Structure formats: structure tokens, C-alpha cells
Structure 1
């Protein structure tokens, strides 16, 4: 019977099942509800009001909750209410998602030793730059995964006198200004994966600051990076970057990223003449996985042959426009 399966096997089955199906299954009997509660309530969402004022209802599911998403923005609560103390009612909490319309300065006055993952996002259009500084998470001692959506970075390079344990960094529509560089998220050399995504015709992809990141002229201390993803979701081709042989060489260079094993480039432009040079570049790389989703005007574009590199798992999709 399903509910008699070991936890790891049951988790694998439920992982590929629709959340609604798991919820419906848990409501079929007392036995199913008891067995599946830890899966149904693993990821929870609530408003600030529910978190602060409905503790009796929350207590019924709190032992099962591993991730919470605060769905509404509440600037007053961020600054004047210590949300961390209200999260103590969730003994197994590991991840927190906060819908925030303001800069992250308030986080420097909060401390937590349980959270492993933190996501800061906003579901409304922001007309001003929301600022994030690495010092804001100084007192989140166990944080290894950070996702930031629509934030601006401008803190100056300086010695960090505390241990930054970030291993995974996800940046969505984030910008920065000189002298900042992405490597400042990695002062202790722990960063393993980096993902950058730009949507909605974001002008930053055409900036000199972004170009300096791509050509590695502004970066350092990225030697432990094993996974890099750069996605450009802009619809118009004039807003996309060109994937030239020089650009690809920089991104797969062992001198720049000696431990890089996985590279994903999504939404870039290529030409036939330049794509012919890609295979020689890949022949000298230490990559193990390469994912390319590219655009071209040329119907005779050269497609990378996967058979030439048996050690390299290649997924290459070319879209003609």
C-alpha cells in the first residue's frame, strides 16, 4: 500500500505528482492524512496577519512546515516586528520567502540560526531601486541559498570579518554599479552555483557593468563555482546578447572558472560563422554539462555535434527567427 512505503520512496513518488493530487489523496482517510501530512504541509504560505494572529490554527500544521512564503508586503512589519521570533513555532523550518517592496536593510537587525534558504521578491512593480547588502544577512549563520528579485547592489569591496556560507545564489533582474562585482557575494570562496535571469526587456543586459561581468574583467574569487546559468528572457532580439566564440571561451575558461562543470546559456543570439568555432572551444573545456537555448537569423546555423564529446552532456536548441 502507498502509505506503507519507506519515506524516501514515497517522497520520490509524491515529487512527480501534482500538489493538488497529493492533497486530495490525504483527505481520503485518516490513515492517509496522518501519513501524508508532512508532504502536504511541507511548503506553506500565509499573510503577515495569519502568521502573527492565528497561532492556534498554525500549531496544527507547524511541525510539518519546512518552507514558508509570506504572500503580502508589509514594510511596517519588516522594521517593527521581529518576524524571526514568530517563526519559532515552526521547529523544522528551513526556507523562507518574503514578499518585500522595500530594501533589505531591516534584515541586519534580525538573526536566525536555522534558515538555510532565503528568497526576497516582490509581486508589484517597483519604481525605485531596492538595495541589498551582504551585511544584511550577517546574522543568518546557516544560510547557504539566497534568491533576490529586483535588487540593486552598490556596497564597496571590503574585507568581510564574518563567515559567509552562501553556496547558491539566484539573481533575477538584479543590477549593480561600480565598483561592485558579483564575486563580492563570495568572500569566503563557498559559492558553488550562480544563476542570473533578466526578464521584460531589462536594460541592464546592455550595460557596461553587465558586459564587464561577462568578460570576467570585474570578477575574482569564483574558483569554486561549479554551475553557472545566464538567462535572457527578453522577447525582442535587439535586447539579447551575442554569444561569440570569445564570449564562450571566457565562460568555459579554466583560468576563470577552474571548477565549472555545468553551464546554461538561454536566450542568446548566434551566427553561423561564429558557431562553427564553438566545437574547438568545447574540445578543450572541463565542462560536463552544457545547455544552450539560442536564437539566430541564419537558417544554415551550425549545430554542435553531441557525439564528438562523449564526456559532455549537451542540450542545444536553436530557434530561427
Structure 2
């Protein structure tokens, strides 16, 4: 019985809220989440408590950066920190360039064999890729060859001269990488004859940046076995190759009847500050890119940095897209229509987007229009 003047709160049980533990989620869910996080975010999360650190250590060491000096040191024995977490390393990036290391140090036999789960390698290289034909690896699935001139040489007392000759890449150079499915190349030159005997490869993804080629080479040779489903081609900083006859011939027949496997095509031009160096997207070229007889399984087309005529494009799209089963058309382009001005620019964009959406509700459109400078 409650006494008069007793204002104490009656006791009651307080339900304990169940705590949420991120690392207890399924691994595939965690991986999907973490692919959007920067390495610093994962480090901060792992620093919150001992349990998180133990669970997240596999993600902290999945991608590591090294220099050639580090690779030279660990030929005989991995340092304690790498030896302890070697099984977690999936991607290794060599951040400096060193010709001697490429030719004289077989990292594939002396170093990478110590990393049992390694799947990707990124190499900062100033050389042609022919040094790779003397290397063998049956585990690497992703290979990136790029060049960052700002990176320091591993041995400061040795001067490395950057050659002005084009860096040559040949598919025969990676013939001994039997599991390679993803290839990223930057600033290479392709120069081999289509009649050359090509090594067996089953590339699924190809990304090339500022790469050039000589006639009669055709980009379709990267898809010799028709397994390629993703292709990204990027040019930047006023690279004049996009205005060459060789590149125009590629656009007129992109993969030369070797395109039935392709699902995503991304062609991008960026950092072109002079309109005279920019590439105009002709209606004929666009018709080729969306031709179902050439690309029967193409689901996504991304065209960024082009010049094009909006009215001609809209007319063709609204007339022909009913025959095309496409999931995404992503355009980031500069319009050349003479009657579009800053005053009516936004209304034209909204009208174009609304018209395409109404005519083709099953296609997702992303339309980012700009006026030429």
C-alpha cells in the first residue's frame, strides 16, 4: 500500500535494447557495405574496440601499398606484420616505378607466392609490358599497369630517365597469367597484326586510358574468345588520338563482330579544355553503339564528355528505342544545337528527359547536359 506523501516512482523492469553488431552481419553484406568506405573509415571503425579490430583486420589488410625497396627486402622473408596478415592480402599496389626491379626481380616467384590469397596487382611502370612475358602467375585475376610520374624512384641515387618512346603492350606478354579476367592499361600503345597468333585469354573486363594503336590493330582482339562483358575507354588532357582516323574507325565498328558478350560500354573524354580537341558524337556512331545486331546483350551505355546535337539524338531515340532492351543510358555531354542558350538550357534538358522517359519507361536515363565553353 502506497503511503501518503510517498512520491517515489514505482519500480518497473526496463527492457534492454538489443545491441547491433555490424561485424555479425553475413560476409557478403559486409563486403557490399565496405566497398563504399574509404580505408580511413574502416581504420576508424576498427579502432573503436578490440572485437571490431579482430573482425575487421581482414579488410584492413586486403589492400596494401608497397615500394620496390619493400619487395627487395622481403624476397627472403616477409616482415612480421605482413607475415602475420599475409592470408588477408588480396590486392597489392607497387606505388613507385623501377625498371631494374621489373626486369631483375621476379616478384611473382619470390614475393607473391608468399601471399596465398592475392588476386590483384597494380604496377606503376615506365616500361613496355614485355618484361611480363618472363613472369608466370596462376592466381592473379586483376592486373593494372599504369604510370604515375610523380612517384619517387626507390633508390634516390639512381636516376631513371623517362623515355619519350611509346610504351608497347601485347597480349602475348600476359600469356602466362592463366586466371586473368580484369585488365586495366594506362598510356600504352597497341601494335600487332590481327593475323598474329593470340594466346588464350578470357578477359571479362577491359579498361584502357589514353591508349593508342596502329592499323591494322583492332580493339576486338582483347575479346578474342567473346568473354568480355565490360569495356571502359577513357581519354584525357586534350589527347588528340580521339580525332584520329584510327579511333573513328573503331567507333564505326567498335569490336568488329566480337561484341556479342558486351554488357557495359563506357567511353569517356575528360579534361578537354579546348573545344577544337573535343569529339563530336555523330548520329551514325550512336546508331552503331545501340545496334542490337552488333551488341545483342548490351545493357548499359555511358558516354561522357562528347559533343552532340540534342534534337537529332532525341528524334532517333524516340523512334528506335522500342526495339532495344537497355537498362541504362547515361549521357554527360555538351550540346551543339544552335537554338539552345543559357536562358532555355534547363527547359530543354527537362523536356528531353521527360520525352525519353515517357517513350521508354523501361530504360533508365541519366542526362547531364552542358553548353560548350
TM-score, length-scaled by structure 2: 0.81
Q: Secondary structure at the match of 1:98?
A: strand
Aligned match for 1:240, one of 278, 286, 289 = 278
The answer to whether the 8 Å contact 2:220/2:254 transfers is no
Q: Unaligned 5+ residue runs, structure 1?
A: none
Q: Unaligned 5+ residue runs, structure 2?
A: 1-20, 150-161
Q: Secondary structure at the match of 1:276?
A: helix
- Per-residue Cα deviation, 1:54-106 (whole angstroms, up to 9, x for no partner): 42232122111100000011111111111101111111100000000000001
Residue 81 of structure 1 pairs with residue 112 of structure 2: no
Post-superposition offset of 1:245: 2.0
- The corresponding residue for 1:11 is 31
Residue 292 of structure 1 pairs with residue 336 of structure 2: no
- Per-residue Cα deviation, 1:196-225 (whole angstroms, up to 9, x for no partner): 000000000000000000011772322211
- The count of corresponding residues between Structure 1 and Structure 2 is 321
Residue 60 of structure 1 pairs with residue 84 of structure 2: yes
The answer to whether the 8 Å contact 1:232/1:268 transfers is yes
Q: Secondary structure at the match of 1:275?
A: helix
- How far apart in 1 are the matches of 2:297 and 2:197? 24
Which has the higher mean CA deviation after the structures are superposed, 161-170 or 127-136?
A: 161-170
- Per-residue Cα deviation, 1:15-64 (whole angstroms, up to 9, x for no partner): 33332121122233332221101111111110011123142232122111
- How far apart in 2 are the matches of 1:245 and 1:167? 29
The answer to whether the 8 Å contact 2:172/2:198 transfers is no
- Assess, with a 3 A threshold, how the Cα gap between structure 1 residues 191 and 4 changes in structure 2: closer, same or farther: closer
Aligned match for 1:275, one of 310, 313, 328 = 313
- How far apart in 2 are the matches of 1:133 and 1:67? 23
- Per-residue Cα deviation, 1:277-315 (whole angstroms, up to 9, x for no partner): 232233332322111101024336562422321221111
Post-superposition offset of 1:11: 2.6
- Assess, with a 3 A threshold, how the Cα gap between structure 1 residues 182 and 161 changes in structure 2: closer, same or farther: closer
- The corresponding residue for 2:369 is 318
- Assess, with a 3 A threshold, how the Cα gap between structure 1 residues 4 and 240 changes in structure 2: closer, same or farther: same
Post-superposition offset of 1:127: 2.6
Quick check: which has more Rg, 1 or 2? 2
Aligned counterparts, 1:300-311, within 5 A: 301=348, 303-304=352-353, 305-311=356-362
Q: Secondary structure at the match of 1:114?
A: coil
Aligned counterparts, 1:180-219, within 5 A: 180-216=217-253, 219=256
The answer to whether the 8 Å contact 1:244/1:274 transfers is no
- Assess, with a 3 A threshold, how the Cα gap between structure 1 residues 316 and 156 changes in structure 2: closer, same or farther: same
- The corresponding residue for 1:24 is 44
- How far apart in 1 are the matches of 2:212 and 2:199? 25
Residue 42 of structure 1 pairs with residue 79 of structure 2: no
Post-superposition offset of 1:316: 1.1
Question: What is the aligned-residue RMSD (CA, Å)?
Answer: 1.9
Which has the higher mean CA deviation after the structures are superposed, 154-163 or 263-272?
A: 154-163
Which has the higher mean CA deviation after the structures are superposed, 178-187 or 126-135?
A: 126-135
The answer to whether the 8 Å contact 1:249/1:281 transfers is no
- The corresponding residue for 1:104 is 129
- The corresponding residue for 2:191 is 154
- The corresponding residue for 2:167 is 130
The answer to whether the 8 Å contact 1:212/1:218 transfers is no
TM-score, length-scaled by structure 1: 0.94
